[in-house]
Amino acid sequence: MSIASRRRVQLAVLLGPVSLFLAVFFLGPLAIMMVTSFLAPGLYGGVEWTFYPHNFGRILGFADPMFEDFDPVYIAIFIRSVKIAALTVLAALLVCYPAAFCIARLSERWKNFCLFLITLPFFTSLIVRLFVWVLILRQTGLVNEMLMSTGMIARPLDLIYTDGAIILGMVYVFIPFMFMPVYASVEKLDWTLVRASLDLGAGPIRTFWRIILPLTAPGIIGGAIIVFIPALGNFVVPAVLGGAKVMMLGNLIEQQFLAARNWPFGSALAMLVMSVMLVLLLVYVFASSRRGADAALNR
Amino acid sequence: MQDSIVRLEGASKAFATPEGGSVTALDAIDLQVRRNEFLTLLGPSGCGKTTLLQAISGFVELDGGRILIDGEDMTDRPPYRRPVNTVFQNYALFPHMTVGENTAYALEVAGVAKAKRREQVAAALKMVGLEGMEGRRPRQLSGGQQQRVALARAIIARPKLLLLDEPLSALDKNLRQAMQIELKTLQHELGISFIFVTHDQQEALTMSDRVAVLSGGRIQQLDTPRAIYDHPVNSFVATFIGASNLFDGRIDGDRLMAGDGTAIHHRRNQSTASGAATALIRPEQFFLAGEGEPFPTLDVDLEAIVFVGSTFELFGRTSAGKKVIAEIPAGRRGLIGEIERTRRARLAYDPAAVHLIHPCAEA
């Protein structure tokens, strides 16, 4: 056997299990969902096996003209989901970026300790952690009790079941996802370049915009995508901290599958969310592969 | 004081060590750098030369003392407000910018108009021999080319002073020697002072107008390369610059009697001082004694004879066991053949070439 063909066999053996797993448990369900999104909903759940493109029309507000009027409610939910996910990304970045700089400058021991602390939340259940936020934010919760007992407010504030509470909860959940890529690029930052910039007459602010930010941008973009994608489809946080008032795409999909039992429409929504994410990922992969090609060329 | 571009007065700096102690990096250093001068800070690692450079560029804050550049007190000014630019050891080129953008950075920061910037970038790149390379990325360049970009970037805004932090240490030997000469030429063309940091004594001797030899946070000697080589003030300088044979002893008339009984002759009028002293004989000042040699001689048993191209290096010991190094021009092969057989050599020297170091000048 030639070396090349032996390589090929080795590769097949190594990649075989993961390929099989993904084909059966990822591509399979994906295909089922795709087909379902083009079927008509059954009267009592399930599907009718007829081609029915109106699921997508309904998302855009133009539903089956026989039954419904123009109603952009789903577009509104989509927009608010994107808005909340984007704000989550922004807030998480504002928390993680400065922290990454602090931690990157610590000694090796403290660095590892801080990284451990950041991954610590993974060790407890997400639901439990979110309900702790309910205890903190609710009308008779920790924050309101404290503010009232110090006399700063007379009546409890509406903290929970707001957009703010959802963003807070999401930032809390997604901080490790933002922190890791941001930290990786901040730690790699070559401080002599910062020195060179200062030496050449650029003040701290200009040095930040011209040197530090562009050089850490890959981590920021990576973190933003990794947070934005699950934030857009998240339904646990809005369910717990958003109450019934605040609807996001994730809840909508969950509701279509479980409560409304309209699988085709739920599938269509899921396809929409997925295609948005796919576009984002493709943009990122394209941009970073061009950078990679650049780096390879430059070597 | 207008003839000095930089003036350090009692510059002091100590660093805390992880063990809780402190290390003196700069010990009340006074230094004046002249206009249009190529000054080299030379010393082993940890001698304080890089700290001194960073104190001038503003990256190290002094514990005490003052720094004046062109008569202005710079002690409390941040690096970006000092008329000083640096060529960093690993070049520190901005990887996300082209060669042109890198070179233009100081001008861009200073708010120079784009058209003028382009003009000056072209001129600066031409000066360092990188014409038309504006569009390249730093990583597409060789080490030597990156070095030149770093140089162009640092000189484009015409600083009053250029600092070079071991800029040639990453280059291979041939390129390094070529760059040494180019740097020297560039410094003349620009007419600005260079402060060059290195631990390579050859580099220091080749390029500098003056060399400051540093050790333990102090300037041991500040003088021209030749004066430092020929007349080191103490044995640290003598051993750090070039190879040396040092004989500690007491002066007795025109001789120095070493502790082991060896007598080294010197020219009497060189020094009127008597008492303890150290005699320095450079290896190349030895020659092989002929029949009936008029000059004083030293008999050594040879341990090794090393051919290094232009010379033979002889490693030997005197009868008292003192190590001696001598350098004999390779042209005299006949004689070498003789001593290779006998493993003994009679080394002669001119007493006028013997330099005496007095202990009062020891650091």
Inter-chain touch B80–A202, beta carbons under 8 Å: yes
Phi/psi of residue B41, nearest 5 degrees: -100, 115
Q: What is the pLDDT of residue B362?
A: 44
Q: Which amino acid is at A53?
A: P
CB B27 within 8 A of CB B12: yes
Tell me how far apart the alpha carbons of residues A270 and B38 are, in angstroms, rounded to a whole number. 70
Q: Which residues of B touch A295 (CB under 8 A)?
A: 139
Search chain A and give the residue with CA nearest B109: A202
DSSP state of B121: H
- Which residue stretches of chain A have pLDDT < 70? 1, 63-70, 244-246, 290-299
B124 in contact with A at a CB cutoff of 8 Å?
A: no
Inter-chain touch A201–B106, beta carbons under 8 Å: yes
Assigned CATH for B4-235: 3.40.50.300
Q: Which residue has the tokens 């571009």?
A: B5
With pLDDT > 70 as the criterion, what percentage of chain B qualifies? 96
Search chain B and give the residue with CA nearest A190: B92
Q: Among residues B175, B180, B179, B170, which one has the least CA distance to residue B204?
A: B180
A201 versus B172: the higher-pLDDT residue is A201
Residue B38 β-bridge partners: B194
The verdict on residue A108 lying in a domain is yes
Q: Among residues B341, B271, B262, which one has the least CA distance to residue B297?
A: B262
Inter-chain touch B80–A199, beta carbons under 8 Å: yes
Inter-chain touch A215–B90, beta carbons under 8 Å: no
Per-residue pLDDT of B137-156, as tens digits, reads: 999 999 889 999 999 999 99
Q: What is the pLDDT of residue B363?
A: 40
- Within 10 Å of residue B35's Cβ, how many Cβ atoms? 15
* Structural domain containing residue A86: 82-261
Mean pLDDT, range B340-351, rounded to an integer: 89
Nearest CB partner across the interface for A201, out of B90, B92, B109: B109
The verdict on residue A171 lying in a domain is yes
Decide if pLDDT at B263 tops 70: yes
Search chain A and give the residue with CA nearest B103: A200
Chain A contacts to B (CB-CB under 8 A): 190, 192-193, 195-204, 206-207, 210-211, 214-215, 294-295, 297-299
The verdict on residue A159 lying in a domain is yes
Inter-chain touch A193–B137, beta carbons under 8 Å: no
**DSSP collapsed to 3 states, chain A:** CCHHHHHHHHHHHHHHHHHHHHHHHHHHHHHHHHHHCCEEECECECEEEEECCHHHHHHHCCCCCCCCCCCCHHHHHHHHHHHHHHHHHHHHHHHHHHHHHHHHCCCHHHHHHHHHHHHHHHHCCHHHHHHHHHHHHCCCCHHHHHHHHCCCCCCCCCCCCCHHHHHHHHHHHHHHHHHHHHHHHHHHCCHHHHHHHHHCCCCHHHHHHHHHHHHHHHHHHHHHHHHHHHHHHCCHHHHHHCCCCCCCHHHHHHHHHHCCCCHHHHHHHHHHHHHHHHHHHHHHHHHHHHHHHHHHHHC
Residue B164 β-bridge partners: B87, B196
CATH code assigned at A218: 1.10.3720.10
Question: B61: distance to nearest CA of chain A, Å?
Answer: 14
Interface test with B, best of A189, A199, A216 (most B CBs within 10 A): A199
The verdict on residue A293 lying in a domain is no
Per-residue pLDDT of A156-192, as tens digits, reads: 888 888 888 899 999 999 999 999 999 999 999 999 9
| Dihedral class, residue A116 (left if φ above 0, else alpha if ψ from -120 to 50, else beta) | alpha
Tell me how far apart the alpha carbons of residues A46 and A261 are, in angstroms, rounded to a whole number. 7
- Within 10 Å of residue A125's Cβ, how many Cβ atoms? 9
Q: What is the pLDDT of residue B361?
A: 46
Number of compact structural domains in chain A: 1
Q: What is the pLDDT of residue A170?
A: 92
Range(s) of chain B covered by CATH 3.40.50.300: 4-235
